[in-house]
């Protein structure tokens, strides 16, 4: 005997039912993932100070990288200035600028731009790390029950 509920279901209704089942499955997976992350957070840290220390270490590594790159920028800028002086000297003497010299200058310019872009990306990474650790710390405090109470709504 055919189930009349199934027989009377249209193709659209079956699709909607499948979509609903898929959505519920994804929500369950998301809840399980959140539980796993919460457990890992609680297993990794015993207090908020440890989260702050980990943040400081991670950011310090990025800052060391930025400092090294800034040193490279300084060195590359000095070399580029020397190359520019050679180009200017050739132009002053009404001589053609050697192609190799111009290519060197163009490469230095491109390399400097890449390096400065990388430094900007690392600075952005610091902002992202801070946001990540802020969220982690907030969730940790919620799980531990030490989160500051929300301000009462103003009337």
Rounded to whole angstroms, how far apart are CA atoms 66 and 59?
10
Q: In whole angstroms, what is the distance from residue 93 CA to residue 108 CA? A: 23
pLDDT band of 144, cuts 50, 70, 90: confident
pTM, full prediction: 0.70
Residue in the structure block whose two tokens are 């919460």: 38
Provide the residue count of the chain. Answer: 155
Q: Give the Cα separation of 86 and 98 in Å (integer).
A: 10
Span 31-56, pLDDT tens digits: 999 999 999 998 999 999 999 999 99
3-state SS, residue 10: coil
Burial class (CB in 10 A: 0-12, 13-18, 19+), 51: buried
């Amino acid at each position: 005997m055919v189930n009349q509920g199934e027989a009377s279901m249209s193709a659209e209704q079956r699709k909607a039912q499948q979509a609903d089942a898929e959505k519920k499955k994804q929500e369950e997976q998301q809840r399980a993932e959140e539980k796993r992350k919460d457990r890992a957070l609680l297993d990794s840290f015993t207090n908020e100070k440890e989260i702050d220390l980990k943040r400081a270490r991670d950011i310090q590594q990025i800052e060391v990288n930025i400092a090294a790159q800034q040193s490279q920028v300084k060195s590359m800028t000095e070399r580029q200035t020397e190359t520019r002086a050679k180009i200017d000297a050739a132009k002053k003497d009404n001589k053609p600028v050697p192609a190799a010299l111009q290519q060197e200058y163009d490469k230095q310019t491109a390399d400097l731009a890449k390096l400065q872009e990388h430094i900007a990306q690392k600075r952005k990474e610091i902002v992202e790390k801070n946001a990540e650790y802020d969220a982690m710390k907030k969730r940790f405090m919620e799980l531990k029950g030490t989160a500051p109470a929300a301000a009462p709504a103003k009337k």
